[in-house]
Amino acid sequence: MMLTIPDVLTAEQLTHCHQALAGASWVDGRSTAGHIAIHVKQNLQLASDDPVAVQLGNLILDALGKNPLFISATLPLKVLPPAFNRYEGGGSYGYHVDNAIRSLPGSAHRVRTDISATLFLTPPEDYDGGELIVQDTYGTHRVKLPAGHMVVYPGTSLHQVTPVTRGARVGAFFWVQSMVRDETQRETLYRLDAAIQQLARETPASEALVQLTGIYHNLLRQWSQT
């Protein structure tokens, strides 16, 4: 499932991010690329232990923990700290698939990358190109979102970032290990939860609401791997 999550960050939080990143120490993004991805990756990144990356990563994690749509869609068990990248001057990232397992920087903990996420930090009118293109069983999707909006999509997807030919595209990216590993089961739970929330708004006294809520939790109990 591919889903846009709007307004993950407030205008004030975005301003804070822009100010912090303005003086950031960017390094060659190929330093974290695998032996295949290194040939198609042309961008800049912040080192995982950069104080700016740590501070802004914690800000984003805090915002995600308060975002009901993110929680419903991903059912997060583990979330890797967000990293930050910058594309400019023709920078791009050719088609690739994210590594299945990633290590938590500075620890022995590992995260299975069920879900990939990109949080856009630059307004789309400030740069040309820089679209995230994701291929899945339903075709090819082109994504270029307002600042503060985020897209989540299966970590198994083939995807790329097109060359940025004007301005700079700055964003945060990270991965989620879900409590529900199977993508189809996870999407079923998301759609069921959305229907329950709609029913709760429209007919809060409905007996069906209690029954559907019970079904949701019983499915989650059956399918979760915690």
> For residues 83 and 32, which has the higher predicted lDDT (pLDDT)?
83
The class (CATH top level) of 3-178 is mainly beta
Instruction: Give the span between the Cα atoms of 86 and 24, in whole angstroms.
Output: 11
Sheet (strand 92-96) strand order: 41-42, 92-96, 158-161, 132-136, 139-143
Q: Spell out the domain ranges in the chain.
A: 3-178, 183-223
Whether pTM exceeds 0.75: yes
Class of domain 183-223: few secondary structures
**One-letter amino acid for residue 80 of the chain:** L
Convert the pLDDT of each residue in 114-123 to its tens digit.
999 999 999 9
> How many Cβ atoms from other residues are within 10 Å of residue 99's Cβ?
12
| Range 26-52 average pLDDT | 90
